[in-house]
Chain A
Amino acid sequence: MNITNNNNQNADLSPTIEARSISKTYRGVALDVHALSGVSLSLFEGEMVVLLGPSGSGKSTLLNILGGLDQPTSGQVLFRGQELTSFDDHALTMYRRDHVGFVFQFYNLVASLTAHENVSLVTEISQNPMSADEALSLVGLAERMDHFPAELSGGEQQRVAIARAIAKRPNILMCDEPTGALDSKTGIRVLEAIENTNINLGTTTAIITHNATVADMADRVIILADGKISEVRSNPARKKPSELSW
């Protein structure tokens, strides 16, 4: 079954990024670990996709490859028709710089820079960024922008991370367990910030989570198990983050 083509809902949209039969094998001492085996999928313009799956199912590996942090062992990745898999390190860096926004479970803010400066790190190097103030306003943190990470709560830090990821107006926003370290109330605020970006900026958004509840806010849910896509389903209607609870 060709999962990608089977998705009629998106047939009229063009894919932002497309994976064709990608596999990733980590060579081990005793045995090789197949993190991904022949995965194909497309993410479309403005789409919000949630990747669900247990630990070790290969979802982080997939996200890293789509985000240009890693290369597959075999298969192709196309970004707007350009083959990422043929990029060298510098080209991948430029791809990340100009097109991809990342949000991680542990925020990964620079401790020595304030919220505003963390966002500015990105706006200083990208081609068509919004201002750091604007990005922080979008995540509701305009008034906390002069605080250092150590002076912010976990949720606030994660929202700074989102502001940093979206300030470059990325084509794709990759979120790896963005609520993993947060309580549900804070997590929902963070998801709202991600949803705002998706709706207002039309950014293609991929969220990795093992929290099945989060799947309800997506257009499409892709479930991974053992390095393969086991199920793809489309939500008839996206729920608002505020309607979620876990």
Chain B
Amino acid sequence: MRDLARMWAQALAIAMVVGAGVGMYVMSEGMLRSLTETRDAYYERYAFGDVFANLKRAPEGVIGQIKSIPGVRTAESRISKMATLDMPGLLEPAQKRIISYPQSGHPSINRLHLVSGNWFSPNRTEDVLVAEAFANAHNLHPGGSINALINGKKRKFKIAGIVLSPEFIYTLPPGAMFPDDKRFAIMWMSRPSLSAIFNMEGVFNDAVVKIDPGAQVNDVISKIDAVLDPYGGIGAVGRDRQISDWFLKGEMDQLKTMGRIGPPIFFAVAIYLLNTVISRWIELERGEIGLLKAFGYSSFQVAAHYIKFVMAITTLGVIIGCGAGTWMGLGLASLYGEFFHFPFLFFSFDFSVYIIAAGLSYLAAFLGTISAVRRAARLSPAQAMVPQPPTVYRRGKSESLIKGALGPTRMIVRHILRWPLRSVLTSFGIGFGVCVMVSVLFFQDAMDYMIDTQFTVIERQDASVTFIDVKSVDILENIKSLPGVMAAEPFRYVPVILKFKSNERRMSIKATAPGGRLNRVLDEKMNTATLPKEGIVLSKKLSEMLDVGLGDIITAEIQEGEKPTLNLAVVMVTETLIDSAAYMDIRSINRALKESNNISGAYVKMDKKYEPEFYSALKNIPSVAQVAVKETMIQAFRDTMEKNLNIMIFFNTIFASVIAVGVVYNAARISLSERARELASLRVLGFTRGEASYILLGELAVLMAVALPIGSLLGYGLAWIWASSLDTDLYRMPLIVSSATFAKAILVVITAGVATAIVTHRQIINLDLIEALKTRE
């Protein structure tokens, strides 16, 4: 205890590093378990489906055929449609997906959770249930109403209840990359009412399936596809392709990675700190150890003295870490609550997480101190009481480095090189601080780069308008004549299964006009390229997934119309960061489909002045299914990502500072303890306080200077790990680390280092000259 009081600052610095490791582990692992448990419970209780199928239109009886497929436990038919909404306070039309739900009772799959209000009232056809996220974004309440444009007719709906669905824990508007709760709604309507509106009595266009435990998803999917094929099925997907589940799983994978990478860094630093501090301490106390042993204390009792000290520090770290980790976990849970819509999400206080975190800490403490404590325990009394001979220095190869340098500088360089391993480890330790900062700031760089590439280089339109069905290209003239429209270019989406050898991908071919200027493709060097007239262009990610190269011929099974199968040559591979698309010339795909010029929608460039007129005109065009406004997409992205990122940056700044302060402070204290006599001698010789400080702080400065590039490199490496772990078919995190990121990371660590140096400088100033000179080394 007395030792703790004497060395409290050093002890606290180490405890903070241990605490950071524990905190990060408790937060990420605790959150991971919370999410896993919550998701599993939610899926279980609300019977989340296993397979999801979309089709054009099939008679109700077809669902019976699906139910009879071996491995299918149950299946539900639904109607699922897109429509536009006219929301007060929103210029552009909002989109909604509207899904049928039983008039009374609940389906056997994808049941809803009622947050407030009521289920459908009997006899009220205009009742809808609204997903909570959209309701919150627009402050909608049960009893309120919503105006929609369905099948060309304006309709007013009454909000019966606010609900949550396991199918939409994470909601993405079609074709978007980020959630946009203000402009994309999910609603449910009673099956009879919805089928009346869309003329779908006795038919369905969406099916959800629950499979038997142990059944092969892929077998079931291919059998479902066979059943639905005649009815315009566009291919069933399992949970792995279901957006909400995919994102949730992605987030959990990230947490897992964070929990695997972060804490080991902190524990490694803690091991190193404990090792140096305890070794030095035992060195200083050799005499006392000898005395105690001479008095008859056993080796174990001597060792126990140091072990108690280490245990106290570690325990302090564990307490700090468990507290901080829980606090951060609670914060993260509420942040997740904004993106992931669960009926309940609590940060789970899973006892085993805390036990594992504590166990890891004590293991780190053990590894850090075992060798030093063993040395102490093994010292024989006689040996221990003989003072250590003066440190032996020799001229090394490095002498040329300090040729012509003054004495103090020579002292710095020789001291660093005398203990090269310790110096290198100190630099690595400080470097980890930079690394932690770089690896989090990298996300901002990567995001900025993605936004810039996607929204200024590739997508140059202001909005894209999608029609309910394909339309003749003539409609483009109508679009062009809307107020404020400066240019409009057509696009065509064609659902397709691309096959090459045994690989296949379900997706849409995105066909655009030749020489289009509003939506472009990039070659592998990120330069804009022209879309070839024939053949298919694949994004790099897609080409990797299909394992095809330039010149290969792939099979494209078109999933609409006559469903022709095309053989297409891969004529170009493009670089994309978002999505993994396939592109074709719109004339070429129309030719292949034996269609005259049909389009799915248009990219629009417009004059900002006429925005309100443009949107209000769109709201009145019945064939418009969706309007995606680029600016609001970017805004939605920034709103969600930046909030998330800023919190991460905040915590990581603290973590990086803890590491830098911990390592620098301990290095300074150890150096000060080793050199107190030398520094006092120099003061006696007439060196000023500043000149004496220079020797110690100069050494720290050199170690720090070495640490910065090491840390930057480590940070780049960690960014690379993040980038590789986030290389998915929905988006790819480019490995972009800006110089500003390096500068910021270095600045944080230097600031922490300088603050520590100031404290150390004060200790040098207060050095008791006479006391320091009395003791013999």
Please report the C-alpha to C-alpha distance between residue A111 and residue B734 in the assembled complex, in whole angstroms. 51
Is the Cβ of A110 less than 8 Å from the Cβ of B681? yes
Measured CB to CB, the closest approach of chain A to B630, in angstroms, equals 64
Please report the C-alpha to C-alpha distance between residue A121 and residue B689 in the assembled complex, in whole angstroms. 15
**Can you pick out 13 interface pairs between chain A and chain B where the beta carbons lie within 8 Å of each other?**
A89-B689, A90-B688, A93-B686, A93-B688, A96-B684, A111-B678, A111-B777, A112-B391, A113-B407, A121-B408, A121-B682, A148-B392, A150-B391
From B389, B414, B687, B773, A108 is in contact (CB under 8 Å) with B773
Does residue A149 face the partner (Cβ distance < 8 Å to B)? Answer: yes
Pairs A-B, 4 closest by C-beta atoms: A97-B686, A112-B414, A121-B407, A108-B681
**Residue on B nearest A114 in the bound complex, by CB:** B395
Measured CB to CB, the closest approach of chain A to B319, in angstroms, equals 34
Please report the C-alpha to C-alpha distance between residue A98 and residue B685 in the assembled complex, in whole angstroms. 9
What band does the interface of chain A fall in when counting residues whose beta carbon is under 8 Å from B?
A: 35 or more
Is the Cβ of B686 less than 8 Å from the Cβ of A125? yes
Does residue B776 face the partner (Cβ distance < 8 Å to A)? Answer: yes
For B390, what are the chain A residues with a Cβ–Cβ distance below 8 Å?
Answer: 111, 149-150
For B770, what are the chain A residues with a Cβ–Cβ distance below 8 Å?
Answer: 64, 69-70
**Residue on A nearest B417 in the bound complex, by CB:** A112
Number of interchain pairs (Cβ within 8 Å): 89
For B392, what are the chain A residues with a Cβ–Cβ distance below 8 Å?
Answer: 148, 150-151
For B397, what are the chain A residues with a Cβ–Cβ distance below 8 Å?
Answer: none
Given A108-B677, A111-B678, verify A121-B685 contact (CB < 8 Å). yes
Measured CB to CB, the closest approach of chain B to A26, in angstroms, equals 11
Is the Cβ of B678 less than 8 Å from the Cβ of A110? yes
Please report the C-alpha to C-alpha distance between residue A228 and residue B687 in the assembled complex, in whole angstroms. 32
Is the Cβ of A110 less than 8 Å from the Cβ of B686? no
Given contacts A118-B407, A151-B392, 6 further A-B contacts (CB under 8 A): A93-B686, A96-B686, A97-B687, A108-B678, A108-B773, A121-B408
Is the Cβ of A126 less than 8 Å from the Cβ of B686? yes
Does residue A102 face the partner (Cβ distance < 8 Å to B)? Answer: yes
Is the Cβ of B411 less than 8 Å from the Cβ of A112? yes
Given A69-B769, A121-B407, verify A98-B777 contact (CB < 8 Å). no
Does residue B393 face the partner (Cβ distance < 8 Å to A)? Answer: yes
Is the Cβ of B391 less than 8 Å from the Cβ of A164? no
Measured CB to CB, the closest approach of chain B to A179, in angstroms, equals 15
Is the Cβ of A102 less than 8 Å from the Cβ of B684? yes
Most chain A CB within 10 A, of B394, B411, B680, is at: B411
For A118, what are the chain B residues with a Cβ–Cβ distance below 8 Å?
Answer: 407
For B395, what are the chain A residues with a Cβ–Cβ distance below 8 Å?
Answer: 114
Does residue B386 face the partner (Cβ distance < 8 Å to A)? Answer: no
Does residue A11 face the partner (Cβ distance < 8 Å to B)? Answer: no
Is the Cβ of B686 less than 8 Å from the Cβ of A120? no
Measured CB to CB, the closest approach of chain B to A208, in angstroms, equals 13
**Residue on A nearest B394 in the bound complex, by CB:** A148
Does residue B471 face the partner (Cβ distance < 8 Å to A)? Answer: no
Measured CB to CB, the closest approach of chain A to B411, in angstroms, equals 5
For A64, what are the chain B residues with a Cβ–Cβ distance below 8 Å?
Answer: 770
Does residue B499 face the partner (Cβ distance < 8 Å to A)? Answer: no
Please report the C-alpha to C-alpha distance between residue A149 and residue B393 in the assembled complex, in whole angstroms. 8
Is the Cβ of A106 less than 8 Å from the Cβ of B776? yes
Does residue A13 face the partner (Cβ distance < 8 Å to B)? Answer: no
For A126, what are the chain B residues with a Cβ–Cβ distance below 8 Å?
Answer: 686
Please report the C-alpha to C-alpha distance between residue A108 and residue B675 in the assembled complex, in whole angstroms. 11
For A117, what are the chain B residues with a Cβ–Cβ distance below 8 Å?
Answer: 407, 410
Does residue B406 face the partner (Cβ distance < 8 Å to A)? Answer: yes
For A94, what are the chain B residues with a Cβ–Cβ distance below 8 Å?
Answer: 686
For B689, what are the chain A residues with a Cβ–Cβ distance below 8 Å?
Answer: 89, 93
- Tell me the count of chain B residues lying within 8 A, CB to CB, of chain A: 33
Is the Cβ of B686 less than 8 Å from the Cβ of A148? no
For B410, what are the chain A residues with a Cβ–Cβ distance below 8 Å?
Answer: 112-113, 117
Measured CB to CB, the closest approach of chain A to B511, in angstroms, equals 74
Please report the C-alpha to C-alpha distance between residue A96 and residue B394 in the assembled complex, in whole angstroms. 30
Is the Cβ of A150 less than 8 Å from the Cβ of B389? yes
Is the Cβ of A93 less than 8 Å from the Cβ of B687? yes
Please report the C-alpha to C-alpha distance between residue A94 and residue B688 in the assembled complex, in whole angstroms. 8
For A93, what are the chain B residues with a Cβ–Cβ distance below 8 Å?
Answer: 683, 686-689
Most chain B CB within 10 A, of A89, A102, A114, A121, is at: A121
Please report the C-alpha to C-alpha distance between residue A102 and residue B773 in the assembled complex, in whole angstroms. 12
Please report the C-alpha to C-alpha distance between residue A156 and residue B684 in the assembled complex, in whole angstroms. 21
Residue-wise interface mask of A (100-132) relative to B, using a CB-CB cutoff of 8 A (1 in contact, 0 not) = 101010101111111001101110111000000
Most chain B CB within 10 A, of A67, A125, A150, A151, is at: A125
Measured CB to CB, the closest approach of chain A to B507, in angstroms, equals 67
For B683, what are the chain A residues with a Cβ–Cβ distance below 8 Å?
Answer: 93
For B414, what are the chain A residues with a Cβ–Cβ distance below 8 Å?
Answer: 112-113
Given A108-B773, A150-B392, verify A125-B418 contact (CB < 8 Å). no
Please report the C-alpha to C-alpha distance between residue A106 and residue B681 in the assembled complex, in whole angstroms. 11
Is the Cβ of B406 less than 8 Å from the Cβ of A112? no
For A106, what are the chain B residues with a Cβ–Cβ distance below 8 Å?
Answer: 776-777
Please report the C-alpha to C-alpha distance between residue A170 and residue B394 in the assembled complex, in whole angstroms. 31
Residue-wise interface mask of B (671-711) relative to A, using a CB-CB cutoff of 8 A (1 in contact, 0 not) = 00000011011111111110100000000000000000000
Is the Cβ of B411 less than 8 Å from the Cβ of A102? no
For A102, what are the chain B residues with a Cβ–Cβ distance below 8 Å?
Answer: 684-685
**Residue on B nearest A70 in the bound complex, by CB:** B770
Measured CB to CB, the closest approach of chain A to B405, in angstroms, equals 10
Does residue B415 face the partner (Cβ distance < 8 Å to A)? Answer: yes
**Residue on B nearest A149 in the bound complex, by CB:** B390
Measured CB to CB, the closest approach of chain B to A81, in angstroms, equals 21
Given A70-B770, A106-B777, A148-B394, verify A97-B685 contact (CB < 8 Å). yes
Is the Cβ of A112 less than 8 Å from the Cβ of B684? no
Please report the C-alpha to C-alpha distance between residue A97 and residue B678 in the assembled complex, in whole angstroms. 16
**Residue on A nearest B692 in the bound complex, by CB:** A93
For A121, what are the chain B residues with a Cβ–Cβ distance below 8 Å?
Answer: 407-408, 682, 685
Please report the C-alpha to C-alpha distance between residue A113 and residue B418 in the assembled complex, in whole angstroms. 12
Is the Cβ of B394 less than 8 Å from the Cβ of A69? no
Which residues of chain A from 14 to 65 have a CB within 8 Å of any chain B CB?
Answer: 64
For A168, what are the chain B residues with a Cβ–Cβ distance below 8 Å?
Answer: 686
Measured CB to CB, the closest approach of chain B to A104, in angstroms, equals 6
Measured CB to CB, the closest approach of chain A to B671, in angstroms, equals 12
Is the Cβ of A98 less than 8 Å from the Cβ of B686? yes
Please report the C-alpha to C-alpha distance between residue A149 and residue B684 in the assembled complex, in whole angstroms. 19
Is the Cβ of A122 less than 8 Å from the Cβ of B406? no
For B411, what are the chain A residues with a Cβ–Cβ distance below 8 Å?
Answer: 110, 112-113
**Residue on B nearest A122 in the bound complex, by CB:** B685
Given A69-B769, A70-B770, A124-B406, verify A111-B685 contact (CB < 8 Å). no
Please report the C-alpha to C-alpha distance between residue A94 and residue B687 in the assembled complex, in whole angstroms. 8
Which residues of chain B from 347 to 373 have a CB within 8 Å of any chain A CB?
Answer: none
